[in-house]
């Protein structure tokens, strides 16, 4: 239920800054059919102590979900799949409403901090306010709807932090075991399963070997997360070929002028002029004021491939040819190559502890949500939206 996890999908496309790779334009979202609420009024789908969930709320959630799929080139699927997803979405709305109703004054202060931070980061990562608004529109959301959703999820997280996460204890030895051996909660569960099966005479050696292999794979995957890949420290000069107001490509004659400008700047850099000074004076990188045009990146970072390919092909202090991307014309200078290494324990111990705590939290959420729904006497009034098996509703909400 972490805010960053719940809302990452909503803002995936807008998380790319001006110099990062351009996402493919989201396919047009089909105009939704008339809602039931338009025809018959806003039908109540579920109710519990202190709340009701109406058809319009589910419709809004489903439109956003479908838009996210469309942006990734995916679709909802069959009618049965749609029905099941709607049931999951309704369950998540119910759980969120219950959690919001449980929020204390302290939770609301914490939620305000979380939501403001998330909103600021979301807008900062968008190339402009207009681009941010366009992205929300592509998701079927208004700014007001998005802010409301962010605040609701922030409240949910604050309540869960207070009621559950604050009570989870992760020992220092567990943190060290993860760092040294890749042992997490899933590995421990599989090890216990392996020990039980090893005592069972009916268990064959192939079955034991398969589980051991899975455990080894999980450990290696966890340890790989602690590896810092090769990175490079670069400085670049950009002459953009996009209109700063609309983010649309400039006319061809203006692009030609930009190309002539960048060619002249490259010649000056090659003659030995101070490249950082040229960047400061001529670069149109939106982040220039904050970064000075400098970035430290890995091959996995979300920069346009043409930029990464050119940057990683350079030697220290070498200046690239003109590199053309969707953002314009770049000149890149490699300042430093940083070899791969395992991140120092002191730098990641807090993150490891939080990850292990989050893992423990995820184990407790389904039962906790089921308990909350029982206490709230939740009733689903439309049989189509009843999840098939007990406990499934909690799991769906936790994973959404």
**pLDDT tens digit sequence for 200-219:** 999 999 999 999 999 999 99
- Report the domain count for the chain: 3
Neighbouring residues of 216: CB distance < 8 A, sequence distance ≥ 6: none
Q: Does residue 352 belong to any structural domain of this protein?
A: no
**pLDDT tens digit sequence for 23-69:** 333 334 444 445 544 555 789 999 999 999 999 999 988 988 888 88
Considering the domain architecture, whether residues 200 and 329 belong to the same structural domain is answered as: no
What's the pLDDT score for residue 388? 63
In which band, very low, low, confident or very high, does the pLDDT at 169 lie, cut at 50, 70 and 90?
very high
332, 266 contact by CB (below 8 A): no
179, 348 contact by CB (below 8 A): yes
What's the pLDDT score for residue 54? 95
Q: Does residue 61 belong to any structural domain of this protein?
A: yes
Considering the domain architecture, whether residues 141 and 245 belong to the same structural domain is answered as: no
What's the pLDDT score for residue 28? 41
Looking at 163, 183, 211, the residue that finishes a domain is 163
CATH number of the domain that residue 144 is part of: 1.10.4030
Task: List, in sequence order, the alpha helices (H) in the chain.
Answer: 3-8, 36-40, 55-71, 79-101, 105-125, 129-138, 143-163, 172-181, 185-198, 205-224, 252-270, 275-282, 288-291, 305-312, 345-375, 392-399
**pLDDT tens digit sequence for 229-262:** 999 999 999 999 999 888 899 999 999 999 999 9
Q: Does residue 33 belong to any structural domain of this protein?
A: yes
**Rounded percentage of the chain residues whose pLDDT exceeds 70:** 86
368, 394 contact by CB (below 8 A): yes
What's the pLDDT score for residue 15? 30
What's the pLDDT score for residue 42? 87
Considering the domain architecture, whether residues 298 and 235 belong to the same structural domain is answered as: yes
- Tokens 């306010």 — which residue? 129
Considering the domain architecture, whether residues 322 and 297 belong to the same structural domain is answered as: yes
Q: Does residue 362 belong to any structural domain of this protein?
A: no
395 pLDDT above the threshold of 50: no
CATH number of the domain that residue 323 is part of: 3.10.50.40
Looking at 182, 199, 227, the residue that finishes a domain is 227
Q: Does residue 384 belong to any structural domain of this protein?
A: no
**pLDDT tens digit sequence for 77-89:** 888 889 999 999 9
Q: Does residue 377 belong to any structural domain of this protein?
A: no
What distances in angstroms separate CA 95 from CA 39, 146, 155, 163, 363, one per listed residue? 28, 18, 12, 14, 16
What's the pLDDT score for residue 278? 97
Considering the domain architecture, whether residues 117 and 216 belong to the same structural domain is answered as: no
Euclidean distance between CA atoms 270 and 273, whole angstroms: 7
In which band, very low, low, confident or very high, does the pLDDT at 400 lie, cut at 50, 70 and 90?
very low
What distances in angstroms separate CA 256 from CA 179, 235, 306, 324, one per listed residue? 53, 24, 20, 12
Q: Is 241 exposed, middle or buried (0-12, 13-18, 19+ CB in 10 A)?
A: buried
The 3-state secondary structure of 213-274, one letter per residue: HHHHHHHHHHHHCCEECCEEEEEEEEEECECCCCCCECCHHHHHHHHHHHHHHHHHHHCCCC
Considering the domain architecture, whether residues 130 and 194 belong to the same structural domain is answered as: no
What's the pLDDT score for residue 163? 94
| Residue 202 DSSP class | T
What's phi and psi for 143, nearest 5 deg?
Answer: -60, -40
Determine the length of the chain. Answer: 400
**pLDDT tens digit sequence for 94-133:** 999 999 999 999 999 999 999 999 988 888 777 677 888 8
Euclidean distance between CA atoms 251 and 365, whole angstroms: 54
What does the mean pLDDT of the chain come to?
86
Considering the domain architecture, whether residues 131 and 145 belong to the same structural domain is answered as: yes
**pLDDT tens digit sequence for 175-200:** 999 999 999 999 999 999 999 999 99
Considering the domain architecture, whether residues 157 and 22 belong to the same structural domain is answered as: yes
Q: Whole domain around residue 29: which residue ranges?
A: 3-163
> Which of 17-21, 279-283, 292-296 shows the lowest mean pLDDT across its residues?
17-21
**Side-chain half-sphere exposure of 114, counting CA atoms within 13 A:** 25
Considering the domain architecture, whether residues 157 and 196 belong to the same structural domain is answered as: no
Q: Does residue 324 belong to any structural domain of this protein?
A: yes
Considering the domain architecture, whether residues 73 and 16 belong to the same structural domain is answered as: yes
Considering the domain architecture, whether residues 106 and 251 belong to the same structural domain is answered as: no
In which band, very low, low, confident or very high, does the pLDDT at 351 lie, cut at 50, 70 and 90?
very high
Q: Does residue 399 belong to any structural domain of this protein?
A: no
221 pLDDT above the threshold of 80: yes
What's the pLDDT score for residue 34? 52
What's the pLDDT score for residue 79? 84
Q: What is the mean pLDDT of residues 326-338?
A: 97
Considering the domain architecture, whether residues 144 and 40 belong to the same structural domain is answered as: yes
Looking at 163, 181, 197, the residue that finishes a domain is 163
């Amino acid at each position: 239920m972490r805010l960053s996890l719940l809302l990452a999908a909503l803002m995936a496309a807008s998380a790319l800054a001006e110099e990062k790779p351009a996402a493919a334009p989201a396919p047009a979202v089909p105009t939704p059919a008339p809602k039931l609420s338009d025809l018959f009024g806003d039908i109540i789908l579920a109710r519990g102590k202190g709340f009701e969930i109406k058809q319009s709320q589910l419709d809004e959630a489903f439109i956003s979900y479908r838009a996210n799929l469309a942006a990734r080139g995916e679709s909802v699927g069959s009618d049965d799949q749609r029905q099941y997803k709607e049931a999951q979405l309704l369950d998540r709305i119910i759980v969120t409403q219950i959690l919001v109703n449980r929020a204390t004054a302290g939770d609301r202060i914490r939620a305000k901090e979380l939501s403001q931070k998330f909103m600021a980061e979301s807008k900062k990562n968008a190339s402009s306010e207009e681009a941010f608004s366009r992205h929300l529109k592509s998701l079927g959301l208004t700014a007001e709807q998005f802010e409301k959703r962010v605040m609701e999820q922030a409240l949910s997280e604050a309540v869960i932090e207070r009621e559950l996460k604050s009570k989870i204890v992760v020992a220092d030895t567990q943190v060290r075991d993860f760092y040294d051996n890749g042992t997490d909660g899933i590995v421990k569960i599989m090890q216990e399963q392996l020990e039980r099966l090893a005592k069972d005479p009916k268990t064959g050696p192939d079955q034991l070997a398969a589980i051991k292999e899975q455990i080894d794979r999980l450990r290696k995957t966890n340890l790989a997360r602690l590896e810092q890949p090769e990175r490079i420290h670069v400085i670049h000069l950009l002459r953009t070929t996009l209109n700063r107001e609309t983010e649309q490509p400039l006319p061809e004659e203006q692009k030609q002028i930009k190309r002539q400008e960048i060619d002249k700047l490259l010649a000056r850099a090659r003659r030995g002029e101070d490249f950082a000074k040229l960047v400061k004076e001529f670069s149109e990188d939106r982040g220039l004021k904050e970064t000075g045009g400098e970035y430290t990146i890995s091959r996995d970072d979300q920069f346009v491939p043409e930029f990464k390919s050119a940057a990683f092909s350079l030697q220290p202090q070498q200046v690239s040819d003109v590199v053309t991307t969707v953002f314009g014309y770049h000149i890149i200078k490699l300042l430093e190559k940083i070899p791969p290494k395992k991140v120092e324990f002191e730098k990641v111990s807090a993150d490891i502890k939080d990850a292990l705590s989050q893992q423990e939290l995820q184990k407790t959420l389904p039962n906790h949500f089921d308990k909350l729904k029982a206490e709230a006497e939740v009733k689903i009034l439309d049989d189509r939206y009843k999840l098939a098996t007990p406990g499934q509703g909690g799991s769906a909400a936790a994973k959404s």
